[in-house]
Amino acid sequence: MRLDKFLADAGLGTRTEVKALIKKRRITINGETASGPEKKIEPGLDKVAFDGEAIGYQEHFYYMLNKPAGVVSVTEDKSCRTVLDILEAPFKKKLFPVGRLDKDTEGLLLITDDGVLAHEILSPRKHVGKVYYARIQGRVEKEDIEAFKAGLDLGEDVVALPAELTVLKEGEVSEIELLIYEGKYHQVKRMFEAVGKKVLYLKRLSMGSLKLDETLLPGESRPLTEKELKELKDREK
C-alpha cells in the first residue's frame, strides 16, 4: 500500500495533508524518515509513526458517544460545540455522526467514517430499531399506546410507522421507553405532540444491536468493541 493512502486511511488527513507531513519529515517507517508519499509499505508489518507516535492501520473507525445536551450532531458549527469537538479520538478528519440527535437530546450516537455501514443503518427499508427513554409531561395511557402502535399522523401528510410504547412509570410526569423504526425530523417529540403531550427529557438507549454503554458519562466516548461491531454489521447485512 502507498504510504499516503495508509496515512489517509488511518485518519491522519487528506492525501494532500499527509503528503505535506511526509515532506516535513514528520513520518517515519521502521524508524527511518519516510522518503516520499509513493513509498510502499506492508500494513501490520511495517511500523509507521507520526512525530514518534505509532500509527495502527485500520480501514474504518467506529466510536460510541454518550451525547450530552447542548452539542449538535454535525461535523462543523461555528456557533456551537459539535459531537466531533467532544469526541475522544486521535484523528477526526473523516468522521461523521450516523444520523442526528436534537441539540437537547442525550444518549447513544455512533460516529464513524464508514459510509456503507451508515447508509445501511439509516436506510428506511432496513427498519433499524431505535429505543428511547423519555419523561413526558402528562399521563401516558393505554389509548396512547394503541395510537403509537397504529401509526401516528404527524401533520403535513407525514405518518409515522407503527411504534412500540412502554410505560415505565405513570403520573403527571410519565416515564416511557419507545421503540421506533425510522428517524424523521424531531420524530419522538412530534409523536407525543400528536397525542397532546410534551417531551421533557429524551435519551437514546440503542440503535439496532448497539446499546449505550451506561458507564459512559454524558460527553464521554470510546471505540466500539469487536463484538459490538460484528453484531452491528451482521444485523445490517
DSSP 8-state assignment for residue 62:
E
Q: Give bridge partners of residue 27 from the DSSP assignment.
A: 50
Helices (H), the chain: 3-9, 15-23, 83-86, 115-122, 142-150, 187-194, 226-235
Select which of 46, 77, 102, 213 is catalytic: 102
Q: Which of 105, 114, 130, 102 has the alpha carbon at shortest distance from 209?
A: 130
Q: How far apart are CA 152 and CA 19, in angstroms?
A: 53
Neighbours of 117 (CB within 10 A): 18
Asked about 51 being catalytic, the answer comes back as no
CB 149 within 8 A of CB 164: yes
CB 94 within 8 A of CB 84: no
Q: Give bridge partners of residue 64 from the DSSP assignment.
A: 110, 222
- Catalytic (active-site) positions: 102
